[in-house]
Amino acid sequence: MINYNYLRSFYHVAKNLSFTLAAEDLFVTQPAITRQVKVLENLWEMKLFENSRGKIYLTEEGKYLFDYVKKVFDYEKEIEMAVEDIRGLKQGVLRLSTTTYVPNFMAFLTNKFKKKYPHIKVQLNHIGSEDSINMLRMGHSEIAIMPMVKEYTDVDFIHLDNPEVILVVNPDHPLALKGVASLEDLSREPLILKEPGSGTAKVVADFFKQHHITPNIFFELGDTESIKRMVQRGHGVSLLVEYTVSREISEGKLVSIPIEEHKIFLPIHIVYLKDRHFSLPAIAFLNILSKVAPGSPHFPHLASSWPKDCPFM
């Protein structure tokens, strides 16, 4: 096995063709450098330097080996530079996952992050809740922003936001003219809902159970875009997260109808593995997130404070 202290001494002597200059480079005494080079020559059973008229030269064997040793210490310099770049957030990767409920403010956050750290690559996966957890477990993402559909023993989470789940209908629907929906209306209308297992499906099912509603479920789909198209065509009504239908409402393709004296909210969390060591890009992202003010247009229901034991604060 190569002793890198001996190798370093050989490298500096060969580079300077001087034991004295090599000792100055390494902040050691000249006899220490001479001794280490001698040990290396004995280990390799070859002479690396020769003296002529008070000057030293590399032997043919020394020249040949110096080409390889130089590569080792050139890579060492590159590693040192890479470490400095990582510490200064001049390179690295931020790995995130999120569900389809939260693309609007994730776009806001990632754009804010890229402006401050333009050299950090951002990998953002839009996937389901269970897949987001699996991405954390496999190390493919460090942070997930998602609704917690169920408890997991191996993850921690911090409450982030409470987007509203709203009733949306076709503009020509009778409820659009009525302007409000009762619980009885909800029980009668054909519902096009998110499929079981999603965060929206859970809070909607909990709402029905709490108010003793037997829903008239017409269709259950995993794709929000398909649900919106079906509602626009008048095939039924739906309960969807406000973020996901804001464009269609502003364009007049869908109408939001309040439910009499009731609101439904979907808690969104920052989720990460327990005892996770966060990368520097992840810490930088979370620090940006922690400074977003409650009431921001991108976070209308943002949690007003962060726990004191946040691992990144």
What's the topology of domain 164-265?
Answer: D-Maltodextrin-Binding Protein; domain 2 (3.40.190)
**Which CATH architecture describes the domain 4-79?**
Orthogonal Bundle (1.10)
pLDDT tens digit string along 26-45? 899 999 999 999 999 999 99
Domain with CATH 1.10.10.10 in the chain: 4-79
β-strands 268-273, 155-161: how paired? antiparallel
The whole-number pLDDT of residue 295 equals 53
Domain with CATH 3.40.190.10 in the chain: 93-162+268-290, 164-265
* Burial of residue 304 (number of CB atoms within 10 Å: 0-12, 13-18, 19+): exposed
Q: From the CA atom positions of the chain, what is the Rg in Å?
A: 32
The confidence band for 101, taking pLDDT boundaries of 50, 70 and 90, is low
Two tokens at 273? 């593995």
pLDDT tens digit string along 160-172? 778 889 999 999 9
Question: Which CATH number is 93-162+268-290's, of 3.10.20.90, 3.40.190.10, 3.20.20.70, 3.90.550.10?
Answer: 3.40.190.10
Predicted TM-score (pTM) of the model is 0.64
In sequence order, which ranges of the chain are alpha helices (DSSP H)? 4-16, 19-26, 30-44, 60-87, 103-116, 129-137, 174-178, 183-188, 199-210, 224-232, 242-250, 280-290
pLDDT tens digit string along 121-144? 888 888 877 888 888 888 889 989
The confidence band for 146, taking pLDDT boundaries of 50, 70 and 90, is confident
The whole-number pLDDT of residue 224 equals 87
Region 99-114 average pLDDT: 74
The whole-number pLDDT of residue 78 equals 74
pLDDT tens digit string along 251-283? 999 999 999 989 999 888 888 888 778 888 888
Query: 82: how many CB neighbours lie within 10 A of its CB?
Result: 13
pLDDT at residue 300 greater than cutoff 60: no
